[in-house]
Structure 1
Amino acid sequence: MSSEPPFEPPFEPEFEPEFEPEFDSMKDLLLDMAQERNWDSLRRLIERRLLERPKVAMVRLWRLKPGDDCERCALRDECPQHVDCLQLESSAETSSLESECAKVPEFCEDLYRRVPLGRRMVGRAGESQQLQKLINMQNDARCEDSRNWAREKNVKGMLAFPLVFKDRLLGVFAIFLEIEPEADGLSEGQVWGRILADHLAAAIANAEAFQKIESLSRFVSDNPNPVFRANQDGALIYANSAAQALFDNWQGECNDLPSGFCEPLSKALKSGRQVELESRNRGRIYSFDMTPIQEEGYVNVYGKDITEAKLAEEKLRIITAEKESMESELRLASRVQNDFLPQHPPSSPNYRFAARMTSAKFIGGDFYDFIRLGTRLGIVIGDVAGKGASAALTMAKLLSDLRYVSGSEDPSDALNAVNKVMLERSSHGVFATLIFLYLNLETGAMRISSAGHLPLLLKRAGQGNIEEFPAREVPVGVLPDTVYTVQETELRPGDMAFLFTDGAIEIQNPAGKQFGMSRLSELMHGSVADPESFLDLVSLRLKEYSRGGVARDDQTLLAFQRLAN
């Protein structure tokens, strides 16, 4: 006959009779805390129940959060990082049993609303994650304001407990007492305080988790985009308000859904892969991502109104096409421009010629040419108003006209003829600035006519001064009755002439200041060996001045020099 072990009742901890109410009260509080899912309710529960206890004057709770008011914080000079700090979220005292966080006393507002980690007792409790005690706050507090405040509130001691959950500091919980806590060891109340702090940290973490879960649960129902669940036949299992509103105004033949949905729904379930559908309704365009849940036999569908995105795509397509058309036009303009410019400067035993053009991002109407006229050489440089293919084509016509009418005694005759032709041929206000000159290769005599162009600069050999030959008349293509005149001079041995377009003086530095005529003239004052070297110098200085900026106009430079005997 087997003998059964004697019955043993479950273990019941024994307390001194005076502590049994304390234990029951704390046990009830911990159980109530575990059931709270809302942070505000949890905070009010802690405040109310603790302030009912004898000798508790005030309860405060700080949460660890990113710094949000560092500039105005009273303890900013004590904050080493200005990143995270302990921020007061709850403050209640026995006088009201209600939260005082919205009307914290001025002292708290100024000094302890934000507390850096490691600073003051609250910050040290957070950084060390250990209990901190202040035995006699009325005499031992760090600052006079704190001591006066403690006397006013009848606060003697303070216990600051760190709130730690899974090695993560959540905040600091402080109890202000009307008695002095024991300095050595842990009293019964301090042990309960630590237990309460541990449970409070877990309750805060649970409240945060429930808040996230609740937020996620509202994500679908509150989503402004249509979200729904359907089977492969188009029967709706769930639809949020946005989806219901959409389908109410959308006629279809796929069970509860519009036509066109059944086939992709079936495809998604059979393949087990996500399927995308784009559909239109009442002038709007929608995109639907269908994610199959094969084991359950339904598809989760996430919709989005993409009308504005589609309109933006169409605008981008048009802009891209226009850009490609413009680039094609610019390439055409560049080809036209290059085809009509001299491939090489002329050669002469008594002269040196150099010319170059740096094309801008937006092709302009710059041009230059050398025209052989027996013992004379016609030299032209100019700029047609406008940019792109139109300016390049006008430039080509103008060069052709100049070659046709050149050969008379004076270059002014050529300008008069060209001006008449341009006015007869164009009704769109096309005009051009230019200098046209004849250089006698035997004598060095120059006859210069200018139509509103920048001046010709002439440096005399052995002299520091620069002579200018400015324009006297308006550009060609502007006024029908303009009579162009001639300026005469002689290019002596060693002299050098320099012609240029406005792109050389209007190029800007990063501050927006133009290079200007004065800087260009200064470059001619220096020692210049030959036209090619001089143009190299000018190009280099222009590039340095703009510091890599994008030129918005062509830069055309032309120089020639009579060699010394």
Structure 2
Amino acid sequence: MEAFKNQYKALIDESLHTEDTSDLINKCEGFTEEVIKKDLLPEDIVQIHKDYIKVLKLDETQILKTFSVLKEIVKGFGYSYKDYKQLVDRMQYHDKEIDLASRLQQTMLKTDIPQFDSIQIGVISVAAQKVSGDYFNLIDHKDGTMSFAVADVIGKGIPAALAMSMIKFGMDSYGHSQLPSDGLKRLNRVVEKNVNQNMFVTMFYGLYEELNHLLYCSSAGHEPGYVYRAETEDFEEINVRGRVLGVSQQTRYKQQEIPIYVDDLVIIFTDGVTEVRNEAGDFLDKQYLLDMIHKYKHMHPQDIVQLLYEAILKIQNPDKRDDLTILIIKRVN
């Protein structure tokens, strides 16, 4: 602070003895930039000015000359405040747009949970910010089959919300059940043609057939899913793999067929679950999540996903949050 006082006093001294005001104005502008960087307030500068001219014991004409320095400094603060106000106005406008996008996303991506006699479904999807890059969809085809998908856009904000809306429309518009490998192939074309080249989508796509209790599934670069086997109390990783959506129209997807028995669980996450970091910055051990699921396996899937989410909230670093989605399907007798 003392150094700034001395610099300002030097500017006042110069104003009293120089006729070259252009050079003085340039020095004042440079001084103002430094003052603003140091978070000093205009009233601090005014107080320094008052104290110094009292020491100098100037006459009225000299005091008026020193005001040229004060005028330039305060003017610089004025510009800074104007820029600040413009920034605040832009941020408020941006916030309104984000709020609108969030409401549109909630409306457009709203999904009803289908009701089946032989399966129970639990799902939770929470956005880290107002607009989510995660997405899930469940479609009852009224023929004893259910398509479902969990996806994650590699990207955030309004573009991610638009991409998710496009994918949901693509899924819903088929009008009939289809194998996941075919579903991903079609959605891949939609994403590749219509979504920004720098934005990709990971997706786990499943079709559950109630008659034979078979799960058909494919993956487009998504986090691996799991099947909990009630008979052996083991977790089997669903090892089907594939390229993320939006890279190439020529991509084809492999498909896996998995029998589901009574009390078995099908578990799908997004990376907002598997890449949770604690306060120390360490990743959450995936086995911790699976152990929790095993502990609560007797409960309804909706209760399981809620308990998982609450446990993650207690552990995770709030500054490292990501969009989070958990889907659990349980076969019941």
Q: One fold, TM greater than 0.5?
A: yes
TM-superposed CA distance for 1:538, in Å, is 0.5
SS across alignment from 1:405: coil
TM-superposed CA distance for 1:239, in Å, is 3.9
Higher share of residues assigned strand: 1
TM-superposed CA distance for 1:408, in Å, is 5.4
Query: Which AA in structure 1 matches 2:316?
Result: S
Query: Which AA in structure 1 matches 2:96?
Result: S
Q: Which runs of 5+ in 2 are unaligned?
A: 1-48
TM-superposed CA distance for 1:551, in Å, is 5.4
Higher RCO (C-alpha under 8 Å, 6+ residues apart): 2
Provide the aligned C-alpha RMSD in A. Answer: 2.6
Query: Which AA in structure 2 matches 1:558?
Result: L
| 1:245-284 matches, cutoff 5 A | none
TM-superposed CA distance for 1:499, in Å, is 1.1
SS across alignment from 1:434: strand
The equivalent position to 1:421 in structure 2, one of 190, 199, 210, is 190
CA contact (8 A) 1:450 1:471 kept: yes
Distance 1:534 1:312 in 2: 52
Q: Which residue of 2 aligns with 1:332?
A: 100
The equivalent position to 2:179 in structure 1, one of 396, 405, 410, is 410
Matched, 1:238 2:29: no
| 1:8-23 matches, cutoff 5 A | none
Higher share of residues assigned helix: 2
Q: 1:493 to 1:509 in 2, by over 3 A?
A: same
TM-score by length of 1: 0.47
**Identity %, equivalent residues:** 23
Q: Deviations over 1:52-108 (max 9, x none)?
A: xxxxxxxxxxxxxxxxxxxxxxxxxxxxxxxxxxxxxxxxxxxxxxxxxxxxxxxxx
Aligned length: 283
TM-score by length of 2: 0.77
Q: Which residue of 1 aligns with 2:230?
A: 461
TM-superposed CA distance for 1:218, in Å, is 6.9
Q: Deviations over 1:16-37 (max 9, x none)?
A: xxxxxxxxxxxxxxxxxxxxxx
CA contact (8 A) 1:364 1:392 kept: yes
Query: Which AA in structure 1 matches 2:312?
Result: L
SS across alignment from 2:60: strand
TM-superposed CA distance for 1:510, in Å, is 1.6
Matched, 1:220 2:53: yes
| 1:163-562 matches, cutoff 5 A | 219-221=52-54, 238-240=60-62, 243-244=64-65, 286=71, 305-361=73-129, 363-373=131-141, 374-405=143-174, 407=176, 409-529=178-298, 530-546=300-316, 549-550=318-319, 552-562=321-331
SS across alignment from 2:167: helix
TM-superposed CA distance for 1:397, in Å, is 0.6
SS across alignment from 1:514: coil
Q: Which residue of 2 aligns with 1:291?
A: none
Query: Which AA in structure 2 matches 1:553?
Result: D
CA contact (8 A) 2:147 2:177 kept: no
Query: Which AA in structure 1 matches 2:131?
Result: I
> Which has the greater radius of gyration?
1
Q: 1:513 to 1:528 in 2, by over 3 A?
A: same
* 476-485 or 324-333, larger mean C-alpha shift: 324-333
TM-superposed CA distance for 1:222, in Å, is 5.3
CA contact (8 A) 2:296 2:304 kept: no
Q: Deviations over 1:330-352 (max 9, x none)?
A: 21232232113345411112211
Q: 1:217 to 1:524 in 2, by over 3 A?
A: closer
Q: 1:506 to 1:312 in 2, by over 3 A?
A: farther
Q: Where has structure 1 moved over 6 Å in runs of 4 or more? A: none
Q: Which residue of 2 aligns with 1:41?
A: none
Q: Deviations over 1:479-512 (max 9, x none)?
A: 2321111011011111111111111122322212
TM-superposed CA distance for 1:522, in Å, is 2.5
Query: Which AA in structure 2 matches 1:220?
Result: I
CA contact (8 A) 2:226 2:266 kept: yes
SS across alignment from 1:306: helix
Q: Which residue of 2 aligns with 1:297?
A: none
CA contact (8 A) 2:226 2:237 kept: yes
Query: Which AA in structure 2 matches 1:446?
Result: L
CA contact (8 A) 2:274 2:284 kept: yes
SS across alignment from 1:305: helix
Q: Which residue of 2 aligns with 1:269?
A: none
Distance 1:401 1:331 in 2: 25
Q: 1:446 to 1:324 in 2, by over 3 A?
A: same
TM-superposed CA distance for 1:471, in Å, is 4.5
Distance 1:463 1:336 in 2: 44
CA contact (8 A) 1:457 1:466 kept: yes
CA contact (8 A) 1:351 1:561 kept: yes
Distance 2:50 2:177 in 1: 92
Distance 1:219 1:484 in 2: 78
CA contact (8 A) 1:405 1:417 kept: no
Q: 1:517 to 1:240 in 2, by over 3 A?
A: farther
Distance 1:217 1:439 in 2: 80
TM-superposed CA distance for 1:430, in Å, is 2.3
